[in-house]
Chain A
């Protein structure tokens, strides 16, 4: 089947829970998503929405936390990697799937030269000589556009700026030609001009290497600039899913709409920003029914029960009893106030 061939990563009904001393935190509670080959899928959400835990679940990096995948499957190229034994998962990490993190300083080894770190990553996955690995490392560094790559191979992480470190992380992540790159807030710690360079680099490398990207961020501006498809997460659930145009041009979930309305946009001249009232609920005391209901202006009696997904066609779905009407469609007064 053609459509199936298009999908590189599919997450099916994923539940990742944390068993803490004071109770169970359901950080990811039934997430389904699909990443298409050669595409960038954005996962947007605020802190505590479960977006990073989703990424760690895919990477199989939950061992050191109290988190556990309770249910669900993660298919990479059709194979369920949740059931893989640890040594096979290890082979995947840095091989077929790799990840870049928010803080490039804490994810690089501070006492190892840049060149050695990239070579280590290569030789962990490929049977090549040290010399070949060095050549690969150097050409990858060149590709990321760092100044004086030969020199940088011999430098330590502390000698580099934040943007350069992130370029090194990207080089390391892509050097084994992964099928999926998970980028968890890769530009959040960077200045805006450097962020723009890194985003452009990721877009360019995606085109050149065909890598599919799972891009996790809280920044809607970044999502609009780099993603093809978007999943919006709230409290461990996906609340809306669609193409980037669906999400930005006709958001249907009140939370998505609220987020988009609450970001200041240049040249707009609004006196007041829309703001979503209240706070993200404590994960130990999740509201019954729809988790967004206590903060939602469109909340009704129905919202006491957990909503299912409403399908708006071509993959645009939203988990809400009273979706925001599509742009240009007038809503009757009764439903607004109801």
Chain B
């Protein structure tokens, strides 16, 4: 159990709908998801909008109400913790958010933003100590000392993201969940922040859960990658294995759609029918069957189990059931 710092078992996050035609039904944002993240590794979660990747990330941080299933952090069941006990686990798991404009309080200085977690968790005991600690954190993420008393609006997007990272690092967490941390940034700035995250992850031996819709970015930073579709993982494997040998038809289609930055290589697109169905009334059986180019009879009715195809390579697809 100790090999895995974070583990989810049959995790469900459902949002009830109170009005309209779908009254008394649920948006099944995360629907029976199980996965585990080895200590000190980078686990990438990719998927298109609405697949539940952000909800999953927030749920394992206990920032989203959990409908069912279990989350274990370092072997401890954190699914139902509250009050002081919940606050205590926040020292172990922290989050970096997508929008560096919305996730920093505009009325607080950089010092106040980074110092807040230190204060909340009683990690420093004097103003001087706090200041030293904040300055050290700022240097760690590549900010300068003189920026200590500035406000977020005085910073560019990339610098703001550095502030968000410093805030997450302040409590010396073991796990960081980064939800689309570079999606709002320009290409040249994106590389700076990716390099910073990779460097900190190695230096501090952090476990990083990296959520993104960008398959190239995820490939670059991750050790293992899970692909989500409509509230479930469809495939998960070590990075190289997943990108070289994608097995699930959805993963294959997704990879075929990445525009290659080389004019001599054209995409060999595997076309998908239609668009992502609604998470309120997801298709029966395998949720991907309505768009799957390899759909079989059983896919319409029976939800696929998790099939292990090689060491660490799991796929949720009937094509890989030995009985077929």
- Enumerate chain A interface residues (CB-CB to B < 8 A): 46-47, 147, 161, 163-164, 191-197, 199-200, 218-225, 227, 244-245, 248-249, 258-260, 262-267, 270-277, 279-280
- Cβ of B156: which chain A residues have Cβ within 8 Å of it? 279-280
Best-buried of B243, B257, B267, B269 by chain A (most CB within 10 Å): B257
Closest to A276 in B: B188
Q: Are B188 and A264 in contact (CB under 8 A)?
A: no
Q: Which of A47, A193, A244, A245 meets B272, CB within 8 Å?
A: A193
Closest to B217 in A: A264
Determine the distance from Cα of A314 to Cα of B185 in the docked complex, in whole angstroms: 34
Q: Are A46 and B266 in contact (CB under 8 A)?
A: no
Any chain A CB within 8 A of the CB of B127?
no
- Enumerate chain B interface residues (CB-CB to A < 8 A): 48-49, 156, 158-159, 186-192, 194-195, 198, 213, 215-217, 219-221, 243-244, 253-267, 269, 271-272, 274-276
Closest to A191 in B: B48
15 A-B interface contacts by CB (under 8 A): A47-B186, A193-B272, A196-B257, A196-B259, A196-B267, A220-B187, A220-B261, A223-B261, A224-B259, A262-B190, A264-B217, A264-B220, A266-B255, A274-B191, A279-B158
- Cβ of A274: which chain B residues have Cβ within 8 Å of it? 191
Q: Are B261 and A260 in contact (CB under 8 A)?
A: yes
Closest to B216 in A: A264
Closest to A160 in B: B275
- Cβ of B265: which chain A residues have Cβ within 8 Å of it? 224
Q: Are A46 and B186 in contact (CB under 8 A)?
A: yes
Q: Are A219 and B259 in contact (CB under 8 A)?
A: yes
Q: Are B186 and A273 in contact (CB under 8 A)?
A: no
- Cβ of A218: which chain B residues have Cβ within 8 Å of it? 186-187
- Cβ of A248: which chain B residues have Cβ within 8 Å of it? 261-263
Determine the distance from Cα of A266 to Cα of B195 in the docked complex, in whole angstroms: 16
Distance between A162 CB and nearest chain B CB, rounded to angstroms: 8
17 A-B pairs besides A220-B187, A273-B195, A275-B195 with CB distance below 8 A are A192-B215, A192-B257, A193-B253, A221-B216, A221-B261, A224-B260, A224-B262, A224-B265, A245-B263, A263-B261, A264-B191, A264-B194, A266-B215, A266-B258, A270-B220, A275-B191, A280-B156
Determine the distance from Cα of A288 to Cα of B90 in the docked complex, in whole angstroms: 48
- Cβ of B220: which chain A residues have Cβ within 8 Å of it? 264, 270, 273
Chain A to chain B: the 5 pairs with minimum beta-carbon distance, closest first: A221-B259, A264-B220, A262-B191, A275-B191, A196-B257
Determine the distance from Cα of A276 to Cα of B269 in the docked complex, in whole angstroms: 32
- Cβ of B258: which chain A residues have Cβ within 8 Å of it? 192, 221, 266
Given A224-B259, A273-B194, A273-B220, A193-B188 contact (CB < 8 Å):
no
- Cβ of B244: which chain A residues have Cβ within 8 Å of it? 267
Distance between A48 CB and nearest chain B CB, rounded to angstroms: 9
Determine the distance from Cα of A276 to Cα of B187 in the docked complex, in whole angstroms: 9
Q: Are B260 and A195 in contact (CB under 8 A)?
A: no
Q: Are B186 and A263 in contact (CB under 8 A)?
A: no
Q: Which of B198, B256, B260 meets A221, CB within 8 Å?
A: B260
Closest to A230 in B: B263
Q: Are A193 and B257 in contact (CB under 8 A)?
A: yes
Distance between A284 CB and nearest chain B CB, rounded to angstroms: 14
Determine the distance from Cα of A46 to Cα of B244 in the docked complex, in whole angstroms: 31
Distance between A187 CB and nearest chain B CB, rounded to angstroms: 9
Q: Are A191 and B49 in contact (CB under 8 A)?
A: yes
Q: Are A266 and B191 in contact (CB under 8 A)?
A: no
Q: Which of A192, A266, A279, A280 meets B219, CB within 8 Å?
A: A266
Q: Are B191 and A222 in contact (CB under 8 A)?
A: no
- Cβ of B198: which chain A residues have Cβ within 8 Å of it? 271-272
Q: Are A266 and B48 in contact (CB under 8 A)?
A: no
- Cβ of B48: which chain A residues have Cβ within 8 Å of it? 191-194
Determine the distance from Cα of A267 to Cα of B263 in the docked complex, in whole angstroms: 17
Closest to A187 in B: B259
Distance between B274 CB and nearest chain A CB, rounded to angstroms: 7
Q: Are A195 and B259 in contact (CB under 8 A)?
A: yes
Determine the distance from Cα of A267 to Cα of B215 in the docked complex, in whole angstroms: 11
Q: Are A224 and B261 in contact (CB under 8 A)?
A: yes
- Cβ of B261: which chain A residues have Cβ within 8 Å of it? 220-221, 223-224, 248, 260, 263, 265
